[in-house]
Amino acid sequence: MSRVTIAPEEDRLNAQIAFAIEIDKLKRIIRRNHLIDGSRRENTAEHSWYVGTLAMVLGEHAPPGTDLQRVVAMLLVHDLVEIDAGDTFIYDPVEVAVQADAERAAADRIFGLLPPDQTRWIRELWDEFEARKTPEARFAKALDRFAPILANHHTEGGTWPLFKVKAAQVREKVRIIEEGSPSLGVYALELVELSVARGHLSE
C-alpha cells in the first residue's frame, strides 16, 4: 500500500506563493485619477502603497486610540478585489452598485488562494474596511478618499473636469473623510473650495 505524505508547512508556503503571484496583477489595474505630477493615471498597487504610507505619517489625525497598524494592513489589501472586479469610479452610482457583487466574488477567489486561516484574516480586514464601522476602517476610508482629492487639487482638478464631477459631489466625499478624521476633513474641504475658486471644479 503506497501512501503520499504531505508536509503541511510546504502546502502553506505554496498557497502563500500562489497568492503572491496573483496579487502582482494589482499593478496592472488602472485608476481614473492621475499622479500628482499629472504624467499618467495611477495604478491600484501604487495607490495602495501611497495610502498605507499616508496612514503612517498622518496617523495623529485619527481619533485617539485608533490602531494604526491595523489601518495600514487594511489599506494594503483594501483594493485587491480590483484584480477581478476592476476599479470603480466613485462618482458613478450605477458602477458602484454593480460592483459590490463582483467585489465579493473577487474576495472569495483571491483571498481563497491563501491557507484558510489567512483567507479569514484578510477577509475580515476587507469586510471591516468596507463596513466602515470601526475607527480603523473609517480612518482608512478617509485616507482612501483624501488621496485623490489631494491629487486632483494639484493637477488643476484632474478627474473632476474630465468626468464632469461637480463640487457638491466632492463635498459629499469630504464628509466620509470627516467621519474618519475631522482635521483631514477640514483640510480636504479647504482644497475643494480652493479648487472651486480657481475654476478647477464646477458648482
Q: Which residues bind its own copies (CB under 8 A)?
A: 9, 12-13, 16-17, 19-21, 23-28, 35-37, 39, 42-43, 45-46, 48-50, 52-54, 56-58, 60-61, 69, 72-73, 76-77, 114, 118, 122, 150-151, 154, 183, 187
> Residue 140's closest CA among 55, 200, 197, 199?
55
SS3 98: helix
User: Which is nearest to 170 in space by CA: 127, 139, 203, 197?
Assistant: 203
Minimum CB distance to its own copies, residue 177 (Å): 13
H-state helical runs in the chain:
8-23, 44-57, 68-77, 82-85, 93-111, 116-131, 135-153, 159-162, 167-180, 182-197
Nearer to its own copies by C-beta: 90 or 143?
143
Can you tell me the distance from the alpha carbon of 86 to that of 99, in angstroms, rounded to the nearest whole number? Answer: 9
Residues facing 202 on adjacent strands = 166
Grid cell of 175 as nine digits: 464628509
Q: Which three cell numbers stand for residue 82?
A: 480590483
The Cα–Cα gap between 104 and 98 comes to: 11
